[in-house]
């Protein structure tokens, strides 16, 4: 985890992307200049004590000012509880409390011809900035842009078409997008991992989404003998590794141990993880 800072950030906009899904843009230059794809921030509303604790949100992307410098960050969220319900009513000019960047970003990879991003539910949210970093169209954390992958595919699964958010963002950024839905209203009817299994194996897999999807992706990566990294969506209380509320079981040389998702993660090698 890199050093982090706490800030009260003004909201630039809070716009709907899909049913119950919004993109929040906040002005936070220091955070935007430091954060890397795969890292996250903790967010809470400063004028409310209910809920008292912040919630983790992945970096969707940074946005640039008129001088092409990082000026703030975008977060994409789905309304599922009290904080996100309140967040949906935040307007331009309001402020949110943020602390970050937190966690470890996506790992450095060797040059690849093809990488696949696999997302389920709201799991596409860490991937837009990562896509741009991989294709070399944007640099993050002070690094200059550098192309790392020739081709990136996004496999994105949702329960129904109305929940699909940000598809055009990924297409515009250069991904080949493959879609799946449980009810068949969007693309392939079935699970996104079933759709992925119908295609040729990429050289590397990166996933984010519900645990059953991640487990299925890890099994597919093992079958294909392809490296796979997973971004876990574990609930967190502090985001700093103090409370030990977000631990996950991982394999070690001595058997297994608990690792804190907020500090040692949220990105883990799939082969490391022990599934319940």
Per-domain boundaries in the chain: 5-102, 112-233
Q: Is the pLDDT of residue 275 over 80?
A: yes
Q: Choose the CATH number for 5-102 among 2.40.30.10, 3.20.20.370, 1.25.40.850, 1.10.287.610.
A: 2.40.30.10
Find the mean pLDDT for residues 237-254: 85
Find the mean pLDDT for residues 91-100: 94
| pLDDT given at position 3 | 64
- 112-233 under CATH 3.40.50.80, yes or no: yes
Find the mean pLDDT for residues 174-189: 97
Find the mean pLDDT for residues 3-30: 93
Q: Is the pLDDT of residue 1 over 50?
A: no
pLDDT digits (tens, 9 = 90+) for 148-161: 999 999 999 999 99
pLDDT digits (tens, 9 = 90+) for 26-47: 999 999 999 999 999 999 998 7
Question: Which residues are bridge partners to 273 per DSSP?
Answer: 250
Q: Is the pLDDT of residue 50 over 80?
A: no
| pLDDT given at position 140 | 96
């Amino acid at each position: 985890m890199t050093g982090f800072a706490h800030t009260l950030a003004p909201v630039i906009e809070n716009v709907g992307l899909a049913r119950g899904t919004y993109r929040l843009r906040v002005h936070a230059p220091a955070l935007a200049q430091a954060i890397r794809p795969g890292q996250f921030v903790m967010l809470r509303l400063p004028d409310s004590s209910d809920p008292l604790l912040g919630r983790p949100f992945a970096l969707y992307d940074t946005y640039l000012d008129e001088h092409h410098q990082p000026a703030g960050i975008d977060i994409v969220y789905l309304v599922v509880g009290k904080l996100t319900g309140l967040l949906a009513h935040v307007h331009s000019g309001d402020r949110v409390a943020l602390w970050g960047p937190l966690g470890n970003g996506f790992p450095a990879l060797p040059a690849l011809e093809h990488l696949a991003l696999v997302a389920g539910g709201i799991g596409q949210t860490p991937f837009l900035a990562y896509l741009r970093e991989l294709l070399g169209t944007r640099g993050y954390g002070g690094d200059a842009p550098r192309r790392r992958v020739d081709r990136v595919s996004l496999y994105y699964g949702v329960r129904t078409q109305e929940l699909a958010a940000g598809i055009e963002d990924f297409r515009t950024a250069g991904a080949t997008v493959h879609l799946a839905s449980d009810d068949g209203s969007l693309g392939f009817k079935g699970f996104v991992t079933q759709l992925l299994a119908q295609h040729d194996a990429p050289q590397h897999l990166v996933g984010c989404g519900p645990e059953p999807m991640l487990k299925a992706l890890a099994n597919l990566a093992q079958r294909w003998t392809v490296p796979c990294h997973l971004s876990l969506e574990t609930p967190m209380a502090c985001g700093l590794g103090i409370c030990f509320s977000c631990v996950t079981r991982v394999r070690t040389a001595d058997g297994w141990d608990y690792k804190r998702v907020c500090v040692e993660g949220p990105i883990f090698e799939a082969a490391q993880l022990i599934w319940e």
